[in-house]
Structures are given as C-alpha cells and as structure tokens.
C-alpha cells in the first residue's frame, strides 16, 4: 500500500474541499478502497475519511412518500430497516445477496455505488488495463473473460459493474445526489455509470471532489412492493459476485401488467435497464410466453466479448425467471438464501 496523507474533515464543505485535491480519494467503509490499495490498484496520495461526516447516515422518509438514503447508511442497516424492506423488497434482497454479513456491516450506500469492477486484470497490476492505465490495452480481451460483459462493451474494456444494490435501484428510478465544489446536483442512477467507449477510465458522471450525499427512491417505486424480486446467479450459493442477475418488478391490476421494471446486473459496465422490454409488458398478461418475448427483447443487442456467449442465454432465462418470481408475489420475508435460484429448493439434510 502506498503512503498517504490522512484527513478526517468535520464538515461536508471541508470534505469537498479536501476531496477536490488531485490524487485525493474518499474513504467510507473501506471495504473496496482498502482492498484496491493493498493490491496497488489504487494509490491515492490523500485519503479523506468521510465515514463520520454528520447527517449522512440517515434514512429519511419524504413527505411525498419517497425515501432519501444517506450515503453513509450501512448496507446491512438499510436492508434490515423494516419499512424500507417492506416498500422496496427487491432492493433489500439484492443488498442481502451481496458480500458477507461482516462486509455489509461496514459497506456504505455511497461506497457500494462506486465500487470498482472485479475484472481480474484490473486487479492484477502486472496486466495491461485501460481502466488502470489509459492507453495500455486490455488483457481481458482474448484472456480469461467468461465473466465479462455481453452488453455495452467496447474493445477498450469488456468489464462489468459488480454491484447488486445498483440493479434494483436502477429499475426503480433511483436518483444520486452529489455535492461538489460547484454545488449540488442530482443524477438518475440509470445515467450515473458510464459505458466504456474509448475512455474506460471514466466510470461515472462524477467530477473530482464531488461526493455522494444520498440516493433517493421516488414514491412510485413503492407501488411495485407486492411484486418485486432480485435473482442472482453465482458460482457458489453465497458470498460471491453475480455471474448474471436481474431485478424484476411488476404493477398488476388483476391479470394485467400495468407497468413493468427490469434491470440486469453482471452484463455490462453499468446496471442495464432494457426499457423496450419493459414497455412490451405493459398491458400484457403475466404469462411465460410474454416473459419470454420480453427477455428476448432485453437481450437482443447482446454480444459475447470472449468466452462468455453462455451469459446471453443465461441472462435471457434469468429475466424470464425473475419476472415469473415477481408475478408470483414478494415473499413475506426475504428468503433464507437471498436472490438464490435455489431458495427453498435445496436441503442439506
């Protein structure tokens, strides 16, 4: 790990000023940043500890029914907040399917949004990586890439965004609130993360010094509460990143879908929202043939970036299954194995 100057500003304004210094990074829970610094992947000269900034660790219910989640709320606290989990069950399920209980206790909402890709070549400083070292090339192309992107990738970077939390948030129209040297602004999560194009080193819409203060969900997002699920395929049942995941949420009127929301994880460098597929579902009946057509549409533009053509078919099936699970209704309690296709299906007698 590189040496760094450590500071723990007392106010948001001081934090923003300290974070605007070139080479500065914010430290929240540290579960991603410490890991990357230990590996020499990130080497900030200044570490600006925001973990105790006042006022950012609250879940606020807005008068219009929406919710504002402070950037320092811990992943575990959000997932276990009763009212939140009841209104946004797919978000709670996604959070509980991520990492481990220890990590969720430390990880923050803001840090989760900004966690970096798990591409092994990004982590390995001996490999060429355009994200770490713009212009160096990308060793994942033609390398070990069965877990890489199938949507929105470029030959400059084929990595994926690893966050589970961001997937249902994107489906539910979450908005990210930022505070920076130039003031405050809000950006829809759907457009917050950038596709790689020819500048994979640019990952989000944020500018140096900007700080995430909160993530907001609109009141409308709670209308899906009765039919909202997250489904995550992993290479082991727990404590693993998604190979492919999907959030599905439906608003039903009897046997008719009034509105549908879908987002995919593990497929692109950002949570993927297939809006055309969503639109196809409005007015339709929630049945397998309809879900199949929507899933075909959702993956229509998918293309293997290496040894990962299987992910296209897998993603298609996961969308169908997530929609079917959503149609069947949100369970009373988050399943014993959150977001697992095996939930309730396996026993270890």
Partner 1 sequence: MGLSITLTINGARRAITLDDPRVTLLDLLRERLDLTGTKKGCDRGQCGACTVLLDGRRVNSCLALALSHDGADIVTIEGVAPGGQLHPVQAAFIAHDGFQCGFCTPGQIMSAIGMIREGQNWGSGAGDDPERVREAMSGNLCRCGAYVGITEAVLDAQRAIAEASRRDAA
Residues in touch with ligand FAD (CB under 6 A): 25-33, 35, 50, 71, 75, 98-99, 103, 106-108, 110-112, 114-115, 162-165, 211-212, 241
What does the DSSP 8-state code read for residue 117?
Answer: P
Contact call for residue 119 and ligand SF4 (CB under 6 A): yes
> From the list 25, 109, 150, 159, which residue makes contact with ligand SF4 (rule: CB under 6 A)?
159
Minimum separation from the CB atom of position 35 to partner 1 (A): 5
Q: What's the longest Cα–Cα distance across the chain?
A: 61
d(CA 25, CA 284): 48
Counts for the chain of helices (H) and strands (E), in that order: 13, 11
What does the DSSP 8-state code read for residue 124?
Answer: -
Minimum separation from the CB atom of position 330 to partner 1 (A): 17
Stretch that binds ligand SF4, among 61-69, 71-79, 130-138, 249-257 (CB under 6 A): 130-138
d(CA 67, CA 72): 15
d(CA 245, CA 227): 17
- Of the pair 198, 237, the CB lying nearest ligand SF4 is at 198
Minimum separation from the CB atom of position 279 to ligand FAD (A): 28
Minimum separation from the CB atom of position 120 to ligand SF4 (A): 8
Structure tokens at 68: 């504002």
Q: Taken in order 199, 201, 205, 209, is the CA torsion positive or negative? A: negative
Q: Which residues bind partner 1 (CB under 8 A)?
A: 1, 3-8, 27, 29-31, 34-35, 38-39, 47, 49, 51, 76, 80, 82, 99-103, 105-106, 237-239, 336-338, 348
Contact 261, 248 (CB under 8 A): yes
Q: Which residues bind ligand SF4 (CB under 6 A)?
A: 117, 119, 121-122, 129-131, 138-140, 157-159, 200
């Amino acid at each position: 790990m590189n040496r760094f100057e450590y500071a723990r500003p007392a106010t948001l304004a001081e934090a923003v000023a300290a974070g605007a210094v070139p080479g500065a990074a914010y430290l929240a829970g540290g579960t991603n940043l410490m890991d990357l610094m230990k590996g020499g992947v990130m080497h900030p000269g200044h570490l600006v500890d925001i973990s105790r900034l006042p006022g950012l660790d609250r879940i606020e219910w807005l008068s219009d029914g929406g919710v504002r989640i402070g950037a320092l709320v811990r992943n575990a606290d959000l997932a276990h907040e009763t009212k939140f989990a009841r209104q946004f069950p797919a978000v709670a399920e996604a959070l509980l399917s991520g990492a481990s209980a220890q990590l969720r206790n430390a990880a923050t909402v803001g840090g989760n949004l900004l966690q970096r890709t798990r591409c092994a070549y990004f982590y390995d400083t001996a490999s060429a990586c355009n994200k770490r070292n713009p212009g160096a090339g990308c060793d994942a192309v033609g390398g070990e890439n069965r877990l890489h992107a199938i949507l929105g990738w470029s030959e400059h970077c084929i990595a994926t965004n690893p966050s589970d939390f961001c997937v249902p948030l994107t489906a539910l129209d979450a908005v990210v609130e930022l505070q920076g040297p130039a003031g405050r602004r809000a950006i829809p999560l759907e457009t917050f993360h950038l596709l790689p194009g020819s500048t994979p080193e640019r990952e989000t819409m944020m500018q140096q010094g900007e700080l995430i203060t909160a993530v907001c969900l609109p009141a409308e997002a709670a209308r899906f509460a009765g039919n909202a699920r997250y489904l995550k395929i992993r290479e082991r049942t727990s404590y693993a990143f998604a190979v492919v995941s999907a959030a599905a949420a439906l608003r039903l009127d009897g046997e008719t879908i009034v509105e549908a929301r879908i987002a995919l994880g593990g497929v692109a460098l950002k949570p993927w929202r297939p809006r055309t597929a969503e639109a196809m579902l409005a007015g339709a009946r929630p049945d397998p043939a309809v879900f199949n057509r929507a899933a075909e549409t959702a993956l229509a533009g998918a293309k293997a970036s290496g040894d990962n053509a299987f992910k296209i078919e897998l993603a298609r099936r996961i969308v169908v299954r997530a929609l079917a699970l959503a149609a069947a209704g949100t369970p009373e309690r988050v399943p014993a194995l959150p977001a697992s296709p095996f939930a309730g299906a396996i026993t270890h007698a």
